[in-house]
Structure 1
Amino acid sequence: MEFTGGGRLIVRITPVDVGKRVSVRCLIGSGGGVEKFTDTVGVLTSWNEGVLLITRRTGETVRIAESSLVAGKVAPAAPARRRSPAADFEEVARVMARAWRPVESERLGEWELRASSGFTRRANSVLPLGDPGLPLGEALTHVRGWYEVRGLPAYVQTATGAVGTQEELCAQLEARGWWSEVSAEVRIAALAPVGDLEADVERVRLARSFDEAWLRRYQRSGTPGSHVLRVLGSGPSVWFATVAGEGDAPAAIGRCVVDGRWAGFMAVEVDPAHRRQGLATSVMTALARRALEEGASAAWLQVETDNDGARALYGGMGFAIHHRYHHFRSA
């Protein structure tokens, strides 16, 4: 990381650079005649009263005392990832939203308030793409009231780590006492290599709808009411995959939504007794081939950051991190 100018460390950033991606170096200590430094790269989300807030790609907010700065500069945007489809944040965010529609929604300016009787945070959170049409404090008061009427906690879904994501909004929510309750990676890939994987797709049954057995394998529904059925069935072109098991529930399931050039993969779950048998790959491959037949060429999926097994599986299929999203809950 190069900070020097004519052999000197230079701080080239000021408070007017808030909102830009920056790279800074600060002094964290010294001892025995040796100074210790640390480097931070991210979006400069605020610079107030001698303290800088920098939000990293992961959504983590780093507080840095201005007095500790020894170097800083505006950094170029993160380089494009090889072999992944070109896509900006807003395109991917809107495609994902269309694949998981809520039972009820309402507009607040350009924000969308979504509710589905508490079934998944995605379907019960605000999607803040654009301007709410109100000062942020007033918008958040409206959000709290809207969810309170429905007996639900107030969540705002934000994103970090790509051009055009919402690091500043994350910092503003945090400053108002909201906290990030869960984070996930949004990964994208070219679709054809997923469809070309060697897998036992003959075991996978594809259908336009799901049955009670499919729901028994799905781990997030609890007692499936009509709100669960509506969310799972939503999307432009929806497919469900099932691999038969020995009992009442399938050995593996999956869901795919085809939307133009995109195929989104969700609800890929395998019976613990049948894991490490390639069933998740078979489900993904079968769904990818069907999506290719419908004209899709790019793929996306979401995986929680603590799910190491799934992250390794999808990384091996060529899925690279595009951005990360976070659900901020009201204090």
Structure 2
Amino acid sequence: MEISAVGRLEVRVTAADVGKRVSVRHLNHAGAAVEKFTDTVGVLTSWDDGVLLITRRSGETVRVPESSLVAGKVVPSAPARRRGPAASYEELARVAARAWQPLESERLGAWELRAAAGFTRRANSVLPLGDPGVPLDEALAAVRRWYAARGLPARVQTATGAEGTQELLCAELERRGWVREVTAELWVGGLAPVADRGAEPSGVVLSREADEAWLARYRRRGASEVALRVLGRADPRCGSRRCPARTPRPPSGRCVVDGRWAGFAAVEVDPAQRRRGLATAVMAALAVRALDEGASAAWLQVEDGQRGGQGAVRRYGLRPRTTPTTTTARTGILVPGR
């Protein structure tokens, strides 16, 4: 609530403030003999057709008719310790790694060597979060041997714009001739705005397990048996939307709830079905379930080759994660040069 110098309540919130944290006072029962006021604080997730949707920190969405507004203003964001998306690179790296569990792994100091018969780079690469316990050249030789024994290329997952030793490791690998196989930005944000994007999630079917039918929609599928084992080990929530029989491949997606984090991946829409809100419906249905299970923040990775989808990701309220120096954090998979 804001009070002017003459004691008048003012509404200083407009539709241009969507996405910001606001505080509004509104009438509970307009026209009643005794007027009752309610104060609501949260993120203004939409302002359409004369109705404001405000998402509280708990994930609850409050509908406020514009006509009932008495006062309102934009307020500062909650302290960092209370914001869902605030997290160190190491926390997010571990959360993302758990979303794609390997079938086998081995420790090399603070490095984790992971393999899953080649299904997804993330489950078949080294996660180096600290000191390997041996000189770097010795560690890399051990990595090469470990993956060669499994018929896999040696891969190391690193990050630029990250805290700690990650920048140094990237530089040292590149100096030794390692090259980037793929690079992605890590996008984060509140989970409630993702859930609010879906107006009608009733056509989405949710399942605890990915099955062969779901896997058939996944364009990056590998060996089906291996893929299902990797997906199942992370206890995902998988969703697909029912579509008419004439559509060749109904859209689908995957979400992994890990504490306060909900990670989204494998959101697939047939090119012939795009721009119909199908991906949004799948994402929203998964987000609603994740909220019910205690998550409050969302993350996903956007590969450089997927830049065309950044506009859609921004509409979910997600943004590239930045470091304290505002550098965008980017993850990459590096492989030895030829």
Structures share fold, TM-score greater than 0.5: yes
Q: String of CA shifts for 1:57-90, please: whole Å, max 9, x gaps.
A: xxxxxxxxxxxxxxxxxxxxxxx9xx87211111
Q: String of CA shifts for 1:94-114, please: whole Å, max 9, x gaps.
A: 111111100111000110001
Q: String of CA shifts for 1:283-313, please: whole Å, max 9, x gaps.
A: 1100000000001100111110221222111
| CA separation of 1:248 and 1:115: change in aligned 2, threshold 3 A | farther
Q: CA deviation at 1:165?
A: 6.0
Question: Which 5+ residue runs of structure 2 have no aligned equivalent?
Answer: 1-79, 322-328
Are the equivalent residues in 2 in contact too, given 1:214–1:242 (CA < 8 A)? yes
TM superposition score normalised by structure 2: 0.70
Corresponding residue of 1:327: 333
Q: String of CA shifts for 1:108-138, please: whole Å, max 9, x gaps.
A: 0110001111111101100000110100000
Q: String of CA shifts for 1:141-183, please: whole Å, max 9, x gaps.
A: 0000001111111000001123336111111001111101110
Whether 2:191 is the aligned partner of 1:191: answer: yes
Whether 2:88 is the aligned partner of 1:88: answer: yes
Cα distance in 1 for residues equivalent to 2:248 and 2:115: 29
Corresponding residue of 2:303: 304
Q: String of CA shifts for 1:256-301, please: whole Å, max 9, x gaps.
A: 0111101000110011111110111111100000000001100111
The secondary structure found in structure 1 opposite 2:215 is helix
Corresponding residue of 1:100: 100
Are the equivalent residues in 1 in contact too, given 2:84–2:260 (CA < 8 A)? no
Q: String of CA shifts for 1:177-218, please: whole Å, max 9, x gaps.
A: 110111011110001111111433111110111222211110
Cα distance in 2 for residues equivalent to 1:111 and 1:283: 35
Corresponding residue of 1:242: 240
Are the equivalent residues in 2 in contact too, given 1:214–1:250 (CA < 8 A)? no
Corresponding residue of 2:312: 313
| CA separation of 1:100 and 1:247: change in aligned 2, threshold 3 A | farther
Corresponding residue of 2:21: none
Pairing 1:1-331 to 2, within 5 Å after superposition: 85-164=85-164, 166-224=166-224, 226-235=225-234, 237-245=235-243, 246=245, 250-322=249-321, 323-331=329-337
Cα distance in 1 for residues equivalent to 2:171 and 2:213: 43
The secondary structure found in structure 2 opposite 1:163 is coil
Give me the identity figure in percent: 60
Cα distance in 1 for residues equivalent to 2:191 and 2:89: 18
The secondary structure found in structure 1 opposite 2:123 is helix
Are the equivalent residues in 2 in contact too, given 1:262–1:296 (CA < 8 A)? yes
Corresponding residue of 2:6: none
The secondary structure found in structure 2 opposite 1:199 is coil
Which is strand-richer, 1 or 2? Answer: 1
Cα distance in 2 for residues equivalent to 1:98 and 1:139: 23
| CA separation of 1:165 and 1:287: change in aligned 2, threshold 3 A | farther
Are the equivalent residues in 2 in contact too, given 1:116–1:123 (CA < 8 A)? yes
Are the equivalent residues in 2 in contact too, given 1:205–1:243 (CA < 8 A)? yes
The secondary structure found in structure 2 opposite 1:314 is helix
Are the equivalent residues in 2 in contact too, given 1:239–1:257 (CA < 8 A)? yes
Corresponding residue of 2:57: none
Question: Which 5+ residue runs of structure 1 have no aligned equivalent?
Answer: 1-79
Cα distance in 1 for residues equivalent to 2:181 and 2:92: 22
Are the equivalent residues in 1 in contact too, given 2:179–2:335 (CA < 8 A)? yes
For 2:240, give the aligned amino acid.
Answer: T
Q: CA deviation at 1:228?
A: 1.0
C-alpha RMSD of matched pairs (Å) = 1.6
